[in-house]
Amino acid sequence: MSIKECQGQSIVSLRNVTKSFQGRKVIDDVSLDVVCGETFVIMGCSGSGKSTLLRHMTGAICPDEGSVLIKDKNIADISYNELDEVKKTFGMSFQYSALLDSLTVEENVALPLREHTKLADEIIEIIIKMKLSLVGMRGFEHYYPSEISGGMRKRVSLARAIALDPDIVFYDEPTSGLDPVVGGITDKLIKDLSVKLMITSVVVTHDMHSVFKIADRIAMIHEGRIIEIGTPDEIKNSQNPFVHQFINGNPDGPINLFEEQGEPEQEAVL
Amino acid sequence: MISYLGRFFIEHTLWLKGVINLFIDILYWTFIGPFLGKFSRRESIFHQMIFVGICSIVIVFFVDLFTGIVLAMQSAYILEKMGAKLYVASLVSVSLCRELGPVLTALVVAGRAGSAIAAELGTMKVTEQIEALETMAINPVRFLAVPRFLALVIMLPALTVLGDLAGIFGGFLIGTRSMNINPDLYMQIAFKYLELKDINTGLLKAFVFGIIIALVACYEGLNTKGGAEGVGRATTRSVVISFILIIAADCFLTAIFYFS
């Protein structure tokens, strides 16, 4: 499905997704739609369930209840081979880049191409050069991940994510651990890829500078529930006290991290 | 006590089930995958064969050489009293080829390559590299476990042959230098009682030990939980479990060959 065909339609849909780990509900009845071509940001505090939500969208975690639809296919309920076919239509940029240590930058980006296409090595080399140019990493082809900086690794991870020209790219904390300049470059890169390659982007982050720069729509998640969805302006002007506290970074407000420790630890302190 | 035993039983049953599932997966991707156009990368298999096999040659050579020397000296102590010191040669060669060669080589490889495989895969697991492969629709068992499995089941018998030769050479050194046995006679006696069956028995054992080391190391690595501590735990478990299973399998296989 090309971007023109799917314009305005939902490309990723979550319907009443619920997930528990060891009896603790991490995702609680979440429903949302990501529209084709947009940059959709999921924001929330650490431990709010945003990365878990992203892993549901990539098929890494199966929901206990509900469905995850990618291009109208419920990836929670399809065969292994069908899921593989869906996975080839999206890419993911990981929080800690997750490049294979034993492969060079070039081999990392080439990996999905060598595994899933029958392209000749010369063509693959050209594609790698193109993708590395897009993320500003030309000239580092023969370096190993351990020989480049964290920001560079994230950019290579992004080049690998877009190697197969995916329709959707998932970003897990793309700017965490980066200095403001590299963070700004990464934001611009996400926006550029979205516009130039017409990619739908789903970004999980708690970096507020980044959120308002890149987002077309924002969802705020708290304790596993979506508490607000809207455009950046709607979120900025939201009257929801949770959203207000989060975007302003106030230590006082309804989001109280000390209350979330639960009774067993309080008893231990007493 | 009962709850402890129950938990112990359940945990080990689940572990065994996981290892068997991994074995089935590896067999699927080794024999059926290629017909579906899903090959394991040849370079990766060769790379692992070099790491598991070629890089272990020196340590296997010395371990088996010294074992051959010790075995020759210990058996000479008894055989000399019986006036049969010439038979040190055949005792060393038969016991090395049937028993000590495969077991010692497997223990050395489990300690050197098995632990490295568990640590590498464990680190890949905790740094999201395995998840990244899955997200790219690349099966981690096909991509990571199959090359290591093939490398071990091919290279361990090859290393065992080398180990057997090193051990026989160790016995030869003691027999000819210290016990003054004629070198030609020593070699003649060494191979006189050594049948092809003895060598095949040893190679079959090495093949089974290769499977054990690969399965345990890959399973522990791919199922690592936690950070650095988890990787350390997976590595230790891989070595300890491989050692126990190698000795147990050796006991079982020896019994089969002995009674059949």
Percent of chain A with pLDDT over 70: 92
Q: Which residue has the higher pLDDT, A62 or A260?
A: A62
- Please give, one letter per residue, the 3-state secondary structure of A175-218: CCCCCHHHHHHHHHHHHHHHHHCCCEEEEEECCHHHHHHHCCEE
Mutate to test the interface with A, among B117, B136, B142, B148 (most CBs of A within 10 A): B136
Sign of CA dihedral B144, B149, B152, B158: negative
Q: Give the residue-averaged pLDDT of B157-181.
A: 92
The shortest C-alpha distance from A86 to chain B (Å) reads 9
- Chain B neighbors of A116, CB-CB under 8 A: 137
Mutate to test the interface with A, among B38, B129, B142 (most CBs of A within 10 A): B129
The shortest C-alpha distance from B16 to chain A (Å) reads 23
* Residue A18: pLDDT band with limits 50, 70, 90: very high
**Amino acid B258: pLDDT:** 83
CB contact under 8 A, A100 and B137: no
Mutate to test the interface with B, among A102, A104, A156, A169 (most CBs of B within 10 A): A102
pLDDT tens for each residue of B111-124: 999 999 999 999 99
**Amino acid A268: pLDDT:** 37
CA-CA-CA-CA dihedral for B202, B205, B211, B216, to nearest 10: -120
* Residue A182: pLDDT band with limits 50, 70, 90: confident
* Residue A2: pLDDT band with limits 50, 70, 90: low
CB contact under 8 A, B132 and A92: yes
Interface of A with B in 42-101 (CB under 8 A): 58-60, 83-85, 87-88, 91-92, 94-96, 98-101
The topology (CATH level 3) of A1-89+205-261 is Rossmann fold (3.40.50)
Q: Give the residue-averaged pLDDT of A150-163.
A: 90
The shortest C-alpha distance from A150 to chain B (Å) reads 13
Does residue A152 register a pLDDT over 80? yes
Considering only alpha carbons, which residue of chain A is nearest residue B123? Answer: A101
- Chain A neighbors of B138, CB-CB under 8 A: 111-112, 115
CB contact under 8 A, B137 and A95: no
Lowest model confidence (mean pLDDT) among A35-39, A122-126, B13-17: A35-39
* Residue B23: pLDDT band with limits 50, 70, 90: very high
* Residue B126: pLDDT band with limits 50, 70, 90: very high
Q: Give the residue-averaged pLDDT of A76-90.
A: 88
* Residue A5: pLDDT band with limits 50, 70, 90: low
The amino acid at residue A172 is: D
- Chain B neighbors of A117, CB-CB under 8 A: none
**Amino acid A258: pLDDT:** 65
Q: Are strands A24-35 and A10-21 parallel, antiparallel or unpaired?
A: antiparallel
**Amino acid B195: pLDDT:** 87
Does residue B251 register a pLDDT over 70? yes
pLDDT tens for each residue of A19-76: 998 888 888 888 999 998 899 999 988 888 888 999 999 988 899 999 999 988 888 8
Does residue A265 register a pLDDT over 70? no
**Amino acid B194: pLDDT:** 87
* Residue A269: pLDDT band with limits 50, 70, 90: very low
* Residue A266: pLDDT band with limits 50, 70, 90: very low
**Amino acid A159: pLDDT:** 92
Interface of A with B in 136-165 (CB under 8 A): 160
Q: Which residue has the higher pLDDT, A257 or B141?
A: B141
Domain regions of chain A by residue span: 1-89+205-261
CB contact under 8 A, B124 and A100: yes
Does residue B25 register a pLDDT over 60? yes
Lowest model confidence (mean pLDDT) among A52-61, A258-267, B43-52: A258-267
Query: Counting beta carbons within 10 angstroms of the beta carbon of residue A251, is it exposed (0 to 12), middle (13 to 18) or buried (19 or more)?
Result: exposed
| Mean per-residue pLDDT over chain A, rounded | 86
- Chain B neighbors of A58, CB-CB under 8 A: 135
CB contact under 8 A, A98 and B138: no
Q: Which residue has the higher pLDDT, B37 or A122?
A: A122
Distance of alpha carbon A224 from alpha carbon A20, whole angstroms: 10
**Amino acid A263: pLDDT:** 46
* Residue A257: pLDDT band with limits 50, 70, 90: low
**Amino acid A267: pLDDT:** 37
CB contact under 8 A, B123 and A112: no
Of A85, A98, A112, the CB nearest to B129: A98
The pair of structure tokens assigned to B43 is 């370079």
Q: Give the residue-averaged pLDDT of B204-230.
A: 95
Q: Give the residue-averaged pLDDT of B48-52.
A: 95
A116 inside 8 A of chain B by CB: yes
- Chain A neighbors of B132, CB-CB under 8 A: 92, 94, 98-100
Does residue A144 register a pLDDT over 60? yes
Considering only alpha carbons, which residue of chain B is nearest residue A61? Answer: B131
pLDDT tens for each residue of B172-189: 999 998 888 899 998 998
Does residue A1 register a pLDDT over 60? no
pLDDT tens for each residue of A98-119: 999 999 999 999 999 999 998 9
Residue at token pair 């419920």: A74
Of A85, A87, A100, the CB nearest to B129: A100
CB contact under 8 A, A92 and B135: yes
User: Beta partners for A43?
Assistant: A205, A220
Q: Terminus-to-terminus CA distance in chain B, angstroms? A: 40
The amino acid at residue A233 is: D
CB contact under 8 A, A87 and B132: no
B45 inside 8 A of chain A by CB: no
**Amino acid B192: pLDDT:** 87
Q: CA of A266: how far to CAs of A23, A244, A252, A263, in Å?
A: 19, 28, 20, 5
Q: Give the residue-averaged pLDDT of A189-215.
A: 87
CB atoms within 10 A of CB A119: 14
Q: Which residue has the higher pLDDT, A177 or A229?
A: A229
**Amino acid A10: pLDDT:** 85
Q: Are A51 and A222 contacting, i.e. CB atoms less than 8 angstroms apart?
A: no
CA-CA-CA-CA dihedral for B235, B241, B243, B245, to nearest 10: -150
**Amino acid A270: pLDDT:** 34
- Chain B neighbors of A112, CB-CB under 8 A: 136-138
Across chain A, where does the E strand assignment appear? 10-21, 24-35, 39-43, 65-70, 73-74, 90-93, 168-172, 200-205, 217-222, 225-230
The residues near A163 (Cβ < 8 Å, ≥ 6 apart) are A91, A109, A110, A111, A112, A113, A127, A128, A131
**Amino acid A231: pLDDT:** 92
User: Beta partners for A225?
Assistant: A222
CB contact under 8 A, B137 and A96: no
Q: Give the residue-averaged pLDDT of A208-218.
A: 89
CB contact under 8 A, A112 and B131: no
Query: Counting beta carbons within 10 angstroms of the beta carbon of residue A21, is it exposed (0 to 12), middle (13 to 18) or buried (19 or more)?
Result: exposed
